[in-house]
Chain A
Amino acid sequence: DIQMTQSPSSLSASVGERVTITCRTSQIISTYLNWYQQKPGKAPKVLISATSSLQSGVPSRFSGSGSGTDFTLTISSLQPEDIATYYCQQRYNIPYTFGQGTKLEIK
């Protein structure tokens, strides 16, 4: 199975700050990497698919990059509504493993 390592596991940042979350995979997965946002008590929502493709309706302050085994989710200017837990997921091999999550809070 492909192991997913997200960092940090939690993050506190100020409104307007640039935030970066990283995801490292245990083997090369090309660009088959997705990012999901989950707000408390809600279902996850896909933000970015295939490493950098922003889903319809997702604000442009979210972006994704990377390839191979190292990937990044960036929020260019943190907004209060971005408070959530973020998960990366690989779609390269079954089982489609998720990272352990990054809990983002406002400072």
Chain B
Amino acid sequence: EVQLLESGGGLVQPGGSLRLSCAASGFTFSSYAMTWVRQAPGKGLEWVSLISAAGGNTYYADSVKGRFTFSRDNSKNTIYLQMNSLRAEDTAVFYCARSSAYAFDFWGQGTMVTVSS
């Protein structure tokens, strides 16, 4: 059974940093690209970032480029999202998801990030 478990969310002040993790199990982790999608309270889904299966390529939404860094450790079946210079508008539930050939086919339960003073 595919499982994705996010952690690391919480309350942080504007300008602060936070690192999210997502531990994967139930599939060959190193064979899949992975992605982060976020959802601000009461709003729709926003794609944030994607990392290739081997970790050599990363892609970001313009809204987070230069502030967020996506990485993975295939030996630990875990992905990470380092978030720096956080802003109020980054407040959201962050979901990690597996990226198959066509869609984001499995999702974690999400972790809440709140940026507020």
Contacts and interface: CB of A to CB of B under 8 A. Distances in A.
Contacts of A44: 37, 45, 95, 104, 107
B102 A50 contact: yes
B59 interface: yes
Residue among B44, B50, B61 with most chain A CB within 10 A = B44
A97 B47 contact: yes
B13 interface: no
A89 B104 CA distance: 10
Contacts, number: 56
B107 A49 contact: no
Contact of A53 (B37, B59, B102, B110): B102
B107 A43 contact: yes
A100 to B, nearest CB: 5
- Say what secondary structure dominates the interface of chain B: strand
Interface residues of B, number: 20
Contact of B45 (A36, A49, A50, A55): A36
B73 interface: no
A98 interface: yes
Nearest to B93: A43
Given A95-B61, A95-B62, A34 B47 contact: no
Interface of B: 35, 37, 44-47, 50, 59, 61-62, 95, 100, 102-105, 107-110
Interface of A: 32, 34, 36, 38, 43-46, 49-50, 53, 55, 87, 89, 91, 94-101
Contact of A46 (B46, B47, B62, B105): B105
A76 B45 CA distance: 25
A43 B95 contact: yes
Nearest to A90: B47
Contacts of A95: 47, 59, 61-62
Contact of B44 (A34, A50, A101): A101
